[in-house]
Amino acid sequence: MTLRKIIIDTDPGQDDAVAILLAFASPQELDVLGLTCVAGNVPLDLTAKNARIICELAGKTDVPVYAGCDRPLARALVTAEHVHGKTGLDGPDLPDPQMPLQQMHGVDFIIETLRAAPSGTVTLCPLGPLTNIATAFRKAPDIVQKVQEIVLMGGAYFEVGNITPTAEFNIYVDPEAADIVFKSGAPTVVMPLDVTHKALVTAPRNDAFRALGTPVGIAVAEMTDFFERFDKEKYGSAGAPLHDPCVTAYLIKPALFTGRHVNVEIETRSELTLGMTVADWWGVTDRQKNAYFIGDLDADGFFDLLTERLARL
C-alpha cells in the first residue's frame, strides 16, 4: 500500500482522539501532514488544545496543529458538551499541552498544502463540521481539483439523526459548509451514523484497550468510559460508537467497509430537517452520484485493527 498523505480536520472529541491516535500508529500507511482544528464538539480554543494533548499523548509533537474556523459559515455555533464533557476530552486526566499551536490559520494550511502538492496526492479527513474545508474551497477554488479524496465522518440516512430527528451533528452544525463540500466535485467517501453506530466499544473491546497497559490504551479506555454515557442512555447501545476512527480505518483497510455510490444532498433551508443528508440510496433521481456512502463494516476486524495499532504507541 502506498503511503497516503493526509490532513485531519478535527473537533476533538474523544472519538476524534481515537481516530488521530490510529493514524499516528500507522506510519506505514498514513503520513499525517497536520491537524487543522475546527469549532464543533467544543469551541475552537478547546479543540485546538485537545488536538495538541492527543499529539503529546502519542509522542507526536512534530505534527503541526493549526486553529481553523471558530464558528460555522452562516449560523451560531452549536456544541456537544452533553456528549463529550466540558473539556471535550473528559475521561482521562491528561496534562495541558506544551507544544505550540501554529501561527498560520488552518484554512491557509489546507490551501497552501494542496497548492504545493502534486495533484491527487493529499487526502482530506474531516472529522467535525465542514467549516474549514468549505472555507478553503471558497477562498481557493483551484485546490478542489488537487484533492486526492475527502474521507469524512458525517451524515446519516437509515440511522437518522443524533442531534435532531433527521440530522447528524457534524452536518447539522454547518449545513452550508457541508453543501459546499458535497457539491465540490472532489471524490468523497462518507462515514455516516449508518456505519459508525455499528462500531460500538462493547465492554470486552474496552477491556482490550485497557489491557494494553500503556498510557494510550488506558487513556482510550477512560475516554470511552466517559463518551459511552450519551449513546447508552439515548439508544441503549452496547457501547460508545467510534464514529471518527471509521475514517482512519477506511484509509488503512478499506475492505473492512461496504457502501454504495449515491447522490447525497444537504438540507440547508428547512428548519425541521436542517442538516439532513438526503441520500438517494435507491437511485430514484438522476442526480449525480457524488459520494461513496458507507453502510456497513466488519466490526470485529475494525476493533482488531484498532487495538493492534494502538498497542504500537
Q: In the complex, which residues of this chain contact ligand RIB (CB under 6 A)?
A: 11, 13, 15-16, 40-41, 127-128, 153, 162, 168-170, 243-244
Q: Which is nearer to ligand RIB, 97 or 154 (CB)?
A: 154
Identify the residue among 4, 9, 13, 263 touching Ca ion (CB under 5 A): 13
Q: Which is nearer to ligand RIB, 168 or 194 (CB)?
A: 168
Q: Which is nearer to ligand RIB, 89 or 143 (CB)?
A: 89
Per-residue contact track with Ca ion, 217 to 246, x per CB under 5 A? Answer: ---------------------------x--
130, three cell numbers:
465542514
d(CA 51, CA 38) in angstroms, rounded, equals: 10
Q: Which is nearer to ligand RIB, 173 or 221 (CB)?
A: 173
d(CA 90, CA 161) in angstroms, rounded, equals: 23
For residue 169, the partner it binds in ligand RIB, Ca ion, none, with Cβ less than 5 to 8 A by kind, is ligand RIB
- Give the alpha-carbon dihedral of 227, 37, 212, 27, to 10 degrees: 150
* Pairing verdict, β 240-241 and 200-201: antiparallel
Catalytic residue among 82, 84, 243, 261: 243
91 binding Ca ion? (CB under 5 A): no
75, three cell numbers:
449560523
For residue 228, the partner it binds in Ca ion, ligand RIB, none, with Cβ less than 5 to 8 A by kind, is none
CB of 221 to ligand RIB, least distance (A): 18
For residue 162, the partner it binds in Ca ion, ligand RIB, none, with Cβ less than 5 to 8 A by kind, is ligand RIB
Whats the size of the chain, residue-wise? 313
16 binding Ca ion? (CB under 5 A): yes
Question: Which H or E element spans position 131?
Answer: helix 131-139
Specify the DSSP class assigned to residue 241. E
85 binding Ca ion? (CB under 5 A): no
Give the interface size with Ca ion as a residue count (CB under 5 A). Answer: 6
Confirm if 248 and 23 have CB atoms less than 8 A apart: yes
Cα-Cα end-to-end distance for the chain: 21
- No. of helices (H) and no. of strands (E), the chain: 12, 12
Residues of this chain, 111-130, that bind Ca ion according to CB under 5 A: 127-128
197 is catalytic: no
175 binding Ca ion? (CB under 5 A): no
Q: Which is nearer to Ca ion, 30 or 212 (CB)?
A: 30
195, three cell numbers:
456505519
Would you list the DSSP string of 38-71? -SSSS-HHHHHHHHHHHHHHTT-TTS-EEE--SS
| Site residues, Ca ion (CB under 5 A) | 11, 13, 16, 127-128, 244
The catalytic residues are: 243
